[in-house]
Structure 1
Amino acid sequence: MGKQFAELSYAHQAFITAQPLFFTGTAARDGKVNISPKGMDSLRVLDATTIAYVNATGSGNETAGHLLDHPRMTLMWCSFNKRPQILRTYGTARTIHPRDAEWRVLAAQLPDVPGARQIYVQSIEMVQTSCGYAVPFMELVGERDTLRHWADDKGPDGVATYWKDRNQATLDGLPTKVIE
């Protein structure tokens, strides 16, 4: 029942935009596979083959380390409402840090997220849709504001200290280059 496409159609883009949650999956050549849920309206479709999302500070920094070792990334959205559907994009991704020249241009296209650590830009190689018939119905109550308050309370210097103390390596010890 799955269908594959070379790029995102307008219908795919509308589906992505309507979802309040997405998942990102990465893996280095060896070690643990990482799957992370993302929200905060942090993602934008830039064109039919490019997606970017701003990554907030978190307890880990697996994606950054994985992409340095092997740049593959899968993004996934699933509908929890009336119309069942799952959509995945497969491709490669690159990391943009606040210190990089490209940050300002990309950040202007994305929401302002306190404690923003990276922007990931995925180049899509394949899009796949599937039915989602087994995904449960769920109702969105609202966004959590906990991370926003945490980053605001820490301030830029406190967030940078957190990166230094807790985000410089993956679970498997790969460097993340969050600070250089």
Structure 2
Amino acid sequence: MGEQLKQLDEKLISFINDQQLYFVGTAGAEGFVNVSPKGMDSFRVISETRVAWLNLTGSGNESASHVQENSRMTVMFCSFDKTPLILRLYGSARVIHERDSEWSEWLGLFPDYEGARQVFLLDIEMVQTSCGFAVPYFEPKGERSTLVRWAEKKGKQGVADFQKKHNLKDLNGRDTGLLKRVLSE
């Protein structure tokens, strides 16, 4: 049924590349645990032991706050089609902001989305597969373009203003690390 591995193999990398949806789980030392669904063209396999994902501006910014305090992260993929499988990547993450020297290098791996907020790097410590036999079938209808259109309409300054209002603190009142960037604009 399930396996625990030290790294991704070609079959699992191919599975990841076929998925249109993934989930990110993080938690601080105390407070709420966060699980966020992610989509769009925002996930990259860097190597068998490292992945990256692009975080776009949205209503919350929990993952950034959590990772600064506690680097543990889990990324989960589920197959909703013919081959049942659940894939979890467990590891230690770090967040890269626009102010960081390596921002351009990592951001360059992704499409040029207005509203790009952070890139997360996850160093994989364990890969786990499980059967997924109880996961229902779903057929995707396509990507939502709402977030991209919203950010493009707001523009760089409008997105920064939104971040100042909504993304500087997490649900527990902790700093998300955006403060330095958005206040300097």
- With the shorter chain as reference, the TM-score category is over 0.9
C-alpha distance after superposition, 1:1-50 (max 9, x if no partner): 32100000011100000000000000001000000000011000000000
Match of 1:28 in 2: 28
Match of 1:177 in 2: 177
Match of 1:141 in 2: 141
Kept in 2, the 8 Å contact 1:54–1:113? The answer is no
1:80-119 counterparts in 2 under 5 A?
80-119=80-119
For residue 172 of structure 1, report the CA deviation from its aligned partner: 0.5
For residue 72 of structure 1, report the CA deviation from its aligned partner: 0.5
Match of 2:53 in 1: 53
Is 2:44 the counterpart of 1:44?
Answer: yes
TM norm structure 2: 0.96
1:11 maps to amino acid? K
Which runs of no fewer than 5 residues in structure 1 stay unpaired? none
Match of 2:183 in 1: none
Match of 2:161 in 1: 161
Match of 1:129 in 2: 129
1:103 maps to amino acid? W
Which runs of no fewer than 5 residues in structure 2 stay unpaired? 181-185
C-alpha distance after superposition, 1:48-102 (max 9, x if no partner): 0000011000100000110111010000000000100000000010000111110
For residue 179 of structure 1, report the CA deviation from its aligned partner: 2.5
For residue 112 of structure 1, report the CA deviation from its aligned partner: 2.1
Taking the aligned partners of 2:136 and 2:130, their CA distance within structure 1 comes to 15
Taking the aligned partners of 1:7 and 1:170, their CA distance within structure 2 comes to 31
TM norm structure 1: 0.98
For residue 131 of structure 1, report the CA deviation from its aligned partner: 0.4
SS of equivalent to 2:179:
coil
For residue 177 of structure 1, report the CA deviation from its aligned partner: 1.1
For residue 113 of structure 1, report the CA deviation from its aligned partner: 2.0
SS of equivalent to 1:52:
strand
Match of 1:69 in 2: 69
Q: Report the aligned-residue RMSD.
A: 0.7
Kept in 2, the 8 Å contact 1:74–1:88? The answer is yes
SS of equivalent to 1:88:
strand
